[in-house]
Structure 1
């Protein structure tokens, strides 16, 4: 056998050994996520269609939403007079406008199947935006997106079987994040505010956003952007503020609203009287604020550039995607950990951020996947049990500890982490 033939065979064998490695990068290399994202989007279209057509729709809040906006359609702008089968209207004005559109599109809310398809589109749109965020940050390996998509029964239920308003608010939130990542903070703040106007859980991201604004925009720039956040709230609420301003503010931003014990996912192991006790609520609030303060001064202050104290709006600090996502998503996650109650639809408040948060920790990869599975199991346990709620808290505590010990948080801030923009 000639030397040339032996060389050719050796080369071919070497190439054949490389092919599996080339394929593996599409599963394990965060720089090659696009292929699996495209495949999963097509798979999700099929899954959503199958869920809508093969799983029975169960009414929870959709009819109540339609009844609440029907009051506005009929000319009632006093928020204290707007209600549905589940009780009074407790969402801000953005909710009213969006679900009024759905009211008309679905024939006063009676075309349930059409509404389900619209929420399927909402779900696919949310995945597109979330995928774009993860594509920019290049941290999470491609195989993890399988757990984010087809593997979650509860998330599909929240979108296409229950049609809650929570996914609508979260879409605006994720689009806002996408704009933050491209340094378009003003547009992002507008979209963030619209998300708050649909459901105020978006405020859980506010501490992280405030700190990021102070870092990137300076003091005057932060005031400017907070004003931008306030403008949509006022404009959307004008008809209701003119009719009964105190009623609108009280009903749509009621932070002291009491939750029913039977729906709680995270505190089932407690006696009901403790769950309803105001001192328990105050304790959770204190713990929430304390942990936020600790992360702000012990972690974010170390990880991010110094707060921009400039009074000029011409000088801005540009952050890397990780520097934006980590404080922003962590802020929301801390709020989830110390929430007075988590209901099943609240899962969507942090579901799409969990994968990023876990892969920002030094927890072993098997442990990360295990936590994702346990969290999913807890949210799929209906009704919740003492054990399921305890396991959920254990998972939350593990992730929170992992974030505290995150390699990014432990690293000393480098002056090269931020770039000054002209």
Structure 2
């Protein structure tokens, strides 16, 4: 009997099966499981062996402490790094962390909370990637253990960016399950923590119109709006103008010293309003170009217009993810400034985007490596900023010619709604 079991094991662990476990997207679950176990160990090791560096945690605690002490006027809430500039959801999340970590003093406990957040985020991301059946298992190594900067953002810095992105990926997972109302609710919670999630909003609006038509899209937009109002009630009652101006300040000026993407230009140009306006125009232009010439091809038979009809079928994973992740990438590519913690805004989507192009695997891995190098160069240099823009350009070029935009792509077949 033992010999029989040994023969079965040898048959399973054959060269062909090993090849599939490494390269076949259908077999990604095995590598995902192993990487999750590895990541638990890596996060514990990082927390124990690498020194925590204070950047924003103390300021976060000071900001929410003002609310704890009864201050609901947003214009009076501030920390060492400046005024509170995040929406109300941020206050509630970090107020919970304030109490969990003994008023912000037990930082090590906070690090373990963020390690748990990291693992939960990976579980959700792996579930998303599992549904796409697109990305080969070996690429997940570059998503997990290979990125120092991402681990730093989570467990060494405790930024709010990973919290916002967690809700974004939860929302996407609901979208993939055709549960758009709950997805919109989760998306709105994410926006209430940090506004960067608005970079996904053009694609979300388009997807809602395609799936539900005009009238039901309006209902879903109301679902998105309700949490923003409910969470902000105490602050709106105290000083509504102050809350809106501070929490949703789209005109905030960034510091040149922290920029990752624009070190290649002089500071006077970086701060110039005309330069910032030009970036906004480019951002909108690329969104329009992708919508008109590419994204609409993903939905054959859909009549785009102001008054659209509800679709009888659910959207496939790639019909959902490709516009969402591309919309976010376009926003990142033409951002006024990218700070180091912003890397988490798109890091976990890069693998899907690259494997949606026809670039050779070596080019995809090279792009991932160069992007990682750019985000780990501190302070940024002319070379690192330039290389980052080159990588973004390569990605956008590859996505423009993605085979997904051919009408007969089997990956884009819609599925019947249960």
Q: Answer yes or no: is 1:241 the counterpart of 2:236.
A: yes
In 2, Cα distance between equivalents of 1:311 and 1:390: 43
In 2, Cα distance between equivalents of 1:183 and 1:317: 10
- Name which one, 1 or 2, has greater alpha-carbon Rg: 1
In 1, Cα distance between equivalents of 2:33 and 2:13: 24
Q: Answer yes or no: is 1:255 the counterpart of 2:250.
A: yes
In 1, Cα distance between equivalents of 2:402 and 2:240: 45
Q: Counterparts of 1:12-411 in structure 2 under 5 Å?
A: 19-305=14-300, 306-307=302-303, 316-411=312-407
Query: What's the secondary structure of 1:273's corresponding residue?
Result: helix
Q: Specify every segment of 5 or more residues in structure 2 that has no aligned partner in the other structure, as ranges.
A: 1-6
* Partner in structure 2 of residue 3 of structure 1: none
In 2, Cα distance between equivalents of 1:217 and 1:66: 41
- Residue by residue over 1:62-99, the C-alpha shift from the partner in whole angstroms, topping out at 9 and shown as x without a partner, is 00000000000000000010000000000000000000
- Residue by residue over 1:192-232, the C-alpha shift from the partner in whole angstroms, topping out at 9 and shown as x without a partner, is 00000000000000000000000001001110100100000
* Partner in structure 1 of residue 3 of structure 2: none
Change (3 A) 1:25 1:236: same
- Give the aligned length: 409
Query: What's the secondary structure of 1:341's corresponding residue?
Result: coil
Native 8 Å contact 1:221 1:312 kept in 2: no
In 1, Cα distance between equivalents of 2:139 and 2:313: 32
| Root-mean-square deviation (Å) | 2.0
Residue 16 of structure 1: how far off its partner (Å) = 7.0
Native 8 Å contact 2:316 2:415 kept in 1: no
In 1, Cα distance between equivalents of 2:116 and 2:316: 30
Residue 24 of structure 1: how far off its partner (Å) = 1.1
Native 8 Å contact 1:217 1:308 kept in 2: no
Query: What's the secondary structure of 2:137's corresponding residue?
Result: coil
Residue 312 of structure 1: how far off its partner (Å) = 9.4
In 1, Cα distance between equivalents of 2:188 and 2:403: 32
Residue 410 of structure 1: how far off its partner (Å) = 4.0
Native 8 Å contact 2:210 2:308 kept in 1: no
Native 8 Å contact 1:218 1:308 kept in 2: no
Native 8 Å contact 1:302 1:412 kept in 2: no
Native 8 Å contact 2:84 2:246 kept in 1: yes
Native 8 Å contact 1:303 1:413 kept in 2: no
In 2, Cα distance between equivalents of 1:266 and 1:296: 25
Residue 314 of structure 1: how far off its partner (Å) = 7.2
Change (3 A) 1:196 1:17: closer
